[in-house]
Amino acid sequence: MKGFYNHYLLDNSPYMGNFQTKPEFALYNLGLYPMVSNGNQSIKGEIYEIDKPTENTLDMLEGIDVGLYRKEYIDVPNFGDNVLIYVGNQWSEEDIKSLPKIISGSYSEHTSKHG
């Protein structure tokens, strides 16, 4: 996301716009970054058109190879059904219940309010 630490990884990726998902997810605050999980909440963010090398770099960042996150292609209104998101895979359902939920569905909005 614009203004956050790892955004430089998207420097060569065209920004496509802001999005809001269908209410099929939940967003949690892990401190320095958010985590998407399955749930009944809409989440908000930014969409970028990425090439394969950028996707591979993001896969390494998100720990796809060690199972920290998994990739899902979802349907997002106004953007179609091939939008890639990274969903947290490292927490049990019981552990997730103890994480602070971002009620707004937007990590950007949350961090601007909570510093």
Query: Domain extents for the chain?
Result: 5-114
- Find out if CATH 3.40.50.300 is the number for domain 5-114: no
pLDDT at 103 over 90: no
DSSP 82-115: EEEEEEE-SS-HHHHHTSPB-TTS-HHHHHHHH-
Q: Mean pLDDT over residues 32-60, rounded?
A: 92
Q: Mean pLDDT over residues 54-79, rounded?
A: 91
Bridge partner list, 80: 76
**Which pLDDT value is given to residue 32?**
78
Top pLDDT among 29 and 114 is at 29
Burial class (CB in 10 A: 0-12, 13-18, 19+), 70: middle
91, 37 in Cβ contact below 8 A?
yes
- Name the pLDDT band for 95 (thresholds 50, 70, 90): confident
Residues taking part in catalysis: 62
Distance of CA 39 to the CA centre of its chain: 14
83, 47 in Cβ contact below 8 A?
yes
C-alpha span between 11 and 16 (Å, rounded): 13
Q: Give pTM, 2 decimals.
A: 0.81
What mean pLDDT value characterizes the chain? 86
**Which pLDDT value is given to residue 57?**
94
Which helix (H) or strand (E) segment holds residue 99: the answer is none
| C-alpha distances in Å from residue 26, one per residue of 13, 47, 91 | 26, 18, 13
pLDDT at 108 over 80: no
**Which pLDDT value is given to residue 82?**
87
